Structure 1
Amino acid sequence: MTDDRTAKTLRSIAPYLADWASFQAAYHGMPGLQLAVGRRGEVFVDLAWGTANLETGESLTSDHLFRVASHSKTFTTVIVMRLVEHGKLRLDDAVGELVPELDGSAAAGITVRELLGHQAGLVRDSSDGDFWQHRRPFLDRAQVLECVRREGVVFEPNEHFKYTNIGYSLLGIIIEEVTGKTYDEMARVAVIEPLGLTRTGTELDPARAAEYAAGHTGRIAHGDTRRVVPHVDTRAMAAATGWYSTALEMVRYGATHVLGDTTLLSDKSKRLVQREESRVVVRGAERGRYGVGMALGTIGDREVVGHSGGYPGHITRTWIDPVDGLVVSSLTNSVDGIADQIATGVIHLINLALAAADDVAASAAGGEPVPPVPDDAPVGRFANLWGVADVVDLGGILHSINPRYARPDEQAQRLVVVGGRLVQEPVAGFSTVGEPVQVERDADGAVTAVRVGAMTSWPIDEFRARRA
């Protein structure tokens, strides 16, 4: 697919991406959602939906700050790799040589690369990780080092992938030891200032307290009342989990991990960071993949990189296609936030639209004809007793999509013109494939009801009124 066709398709479906994501957030009872979608310097979606603080009723905006938690590890990785590129640090340098307090400890031989790839075998959060539920403060420098000395080593290096916040906190200390600057100072020089970020930083900033979206508790049962979870300083654990940002600035930052963009790192460094370092398999089931400081995933036919984040009250996810340039960042402000589901679902919708656009282009080039979407197509959101369906043009082909599904592509159905009639695509299937789409209209031509199959559905507001 040409870049022009990709950009055109993304522009055309951007309103629906925002609408679908908003429906998902509302359906799952999220307080608020920020979503941004960008590609190669163009932003297609910059959505703020819902509430920043349920106790005050403050509406969420695109400027509200979210704690992006373990996204911090990707920022730390960038700082480390920039030090490597400038000859200030080597990936095979040992911890004991870099941090004098750890010389002679069981962790002394662990390397920088093993820390970056979670192959160091270190304890995840110490034996008392109740800072994650605000029962104690996050660890300071002395406490991190004491944890590493006293209980840090759980596995031998490279014995198992073992995700560790203590390991990344140690990387923050290493950055300070190597440079003689604070972690925050290095982050500003290495990431924030080169990108001109104004709503991104390493740690809770009391001067900006009013700008943060409140975190909220999760729900154990559907009707549970959410409570605000206050923001706290993550202290020496900032390199693992302290950063804040917005979805829009996360997309700007994510774009620097696309191959060809050397604003922060060379492509050589990015290939190392994004190469599979670990495939996490437990009893034959794959649980995930990780590179050298970034998570790896597959969404459709896209190989993506990025990270998730879990901070008390905020759940976040950013995915980056380093070849195509697509970046999607989803930020939610509750402990049970569905940020990953939304970011991944948005990419599935994009893939669905681009596949349709490819088919339309192939048709125009002499392939099997794809009739255009009728000018009077019954586009909109419809509902009946059994659920909700969106009729939407994706990539030049009309689709019927259930917006409640986390994987909208799995149940999506094309609606095509056959013999002058709009029908559900005549393919094999368990639904009413091949059957006509029936449309009712008022005297002005507005759609009052549709039958995609045998049952009548009404525009969603009309259905709600009927149900009341």
Structure 2
Amino acid sequence: MNSHSIHHLMQQGLRENVFPGAVLLVGSGDTRLFFEAYGKANLFSGQPMIREAVFDLASLTKPLATTLAVAKLVDQARISLDQPVVKWLPALAGSDKATISIRQLLCHQGGFPAHRLFYMTLKSLLPSRRKAAVLDLLKHTPLAYQPGETTLYSDLGFMLLCRLVEAVAGYPMNEFLKTEIYDPMGLTDLFFVDLTRDHLTRKPFAATELCPMRNRLLVGEVHDDNAWFAGGVDGHAGLFGTADAVFRLLRFLVADFRGRSSGSVFSTQILSDVFNGEGKHPLPLGFDRPSVQHSSAGRYFSANTVGHLGFTGVSVWMDLEKECCIILLTNRVHPFRWNTRLGQFRPFIHDRIMEHFEI
């Protein structure tokens, strides 16, 4: 199998309407083994997809933004993972959230249900009041289980983490990430679109959905409704970026993790915790691991792999043992979210890639 075969499979994905467009980047160590764009970024304008296309990274926000902001605050000795979040968010005092630790939130063990339609409440408030109102909504959402009792993937826990970061840092999470993490790494193509400042930047955004709630095609504004009504910056969604920026971020993290970075942004210790968990908490923080059977990562990634999926059609899997990664960014929700063919295509293309490059 040669690279032409991977091209053929991606073209097949286009023909079978798995996605309107995609960018595929395969990395081994610091080398980009494969990096190509396919299809259309916008079906209505005919804008072609390019390698520099900016995608709504959806839930990749959790590991690539929120988790890293928390990790930086730990490195700065401003917070501790096993302390209760109420220490920095006293509004939670006296509620059933008072014992939840930061680590539990990062591991999706905080007790929160998976999702709530907060935007149905937020849309009736003045835009200036919406972000603060989310904390009150989180406080009054009944827990689905006792914190630490089980693992349930939840957007809500990461929404709370965003408010924790901002309470400790003293300014918005997107600015903290830019100043403390992305800028020092030279990553200008990872960012949030802060809708409260109304500055939709002119970048080659991949379009997402014809949104029934907002009654327009979404281009360069976050797809997730809870994040949009909260102003575009939140802990569960809101990050935008290019495939290459995601790749370079992952390489910086691995270099810091291995202790071979010349200008490290993170300590080896905190990244060990992020990727592997620690002691009695052997879960990665913010990241996911491939499931044992029918993983979206396919069959060839080792057990020492971290990654995540995003609702808009984006994914990243990074094998820490083999030091390889596959970043597949698509706009599968364009023009409608009901297209779910990517679920079958993703592990299939991953397996063909790993076989081709003998990884």
TM range (shorter): 0.7 to 0.9
Whether the 8 Å CA contact 1:38–1:251 is kept in 2: the answer is yes
Aligned counterpart, 2:327? 329
TM alignment of 1:24-423, pairs within 5 A: 24-74=13-63, 75-128=65-118, 140-203=130-193, 206-209=199-202, 211-216=204-209, 228-229=217-218, 231-232=221-222, 233=228, 234-235=230-231, 238-258=234-254, 259-260=257-258, 262=261, 263-275=264-276, 291-297=284-290, 299-300=299-300, 302-303=302-303, 304-310=305-311, 314-333=312-331, 334=333, 335=337, 336=339, 341-353=344-356, 355=358
State the aligned residue count.
Answer: 322
Cα distance in 1 for partners of 2:120, 2:7 equals 36
Residues 175 and 17 from structure 1, CA distance in 2 versus in 1: closer, same or farther, beyond 3 angstroms?
same
Whether the 8 Å CA contact 1:32–1:50 is kept in 2: the answer is yes
Query: What is the Cα-based RMSD across aligned positions, in Å?
Result: 3.2
Whether the 8 Å CA contact 1:33–1:48 is kept in 2: the answer is yes
Shift in Å, 1:52: 1.2
Residues 62 and 49 from structure 1, CA distance in 2 versus in 1: closer, same or farther, beyond 3 angstroms?
same
Aligned counterpart, 1:448? none
Question: Structure 1 regions of 5+ residues with no counterpart?
Answer: 1-11, 219-226, 278-288, 358-468
Whether the 8 Å CA contact 2:118–2:134 is kept in 1: the answer is no
Cα distance in 2 for partners of 1:331, 1:139 equals 33
Residues 274 and 324 from structure 1, CA distance in 2 versus in 1: closer, same or farther, beyond 3 angstroms?
same
The 3-state SS of whatever aligns with 1:21 is helix
- Per-residue CA shift, 1:152-187, capped at 9, x if unaligned? 422110122122212111111111111212211111
Shift in Å, 1:122: 1.3
Aligned counterpart, 1:437? none
Structure with the greater relative contact order (CA < 8 A, sep ≥ 6): 1 or 2? 2
Shift in Å, 1:200: 1.3
User: Greater share of strand residues, 1 or 2?
Assistant: 1
Whether the 8 Å CA contact 2:194–2:233 is kept in 1: the answer is no
Aligned counterpart, 2:225? none
Whether the 8 Å CA contact 2:306–2:317 is kept in 1: the answer is yes
Cα distance in 2 for partners of 1:350, 1:266 equals 32
Cα distance in 1 for partners of 2:129, 2:233 equals 6
Cα distance in 1 for partners of 2:147, 2:158 equals 15
The 3-state SS of whatever aligns with 2:105 is helix
- Per-residue CA shift, 1:203-245, capped at 9, x if unaligned? 3573325521111369xxxxxxxx9445343527522101001
- Per-residue CA shift, 1:252-277, capped at 9, x if unaligned? 12223434265443333233222369
- Normalization by structure 2: what TM-score? 0.79
- Per-residue CA shift, 1:329-381, capped at 9, x if unaligned? 111112336556555334312432355x9xxxxxxxxxxxxxxxxxxxxxxxx
Cα distance in 2 for partners of 1:340, 1:190 equals 35
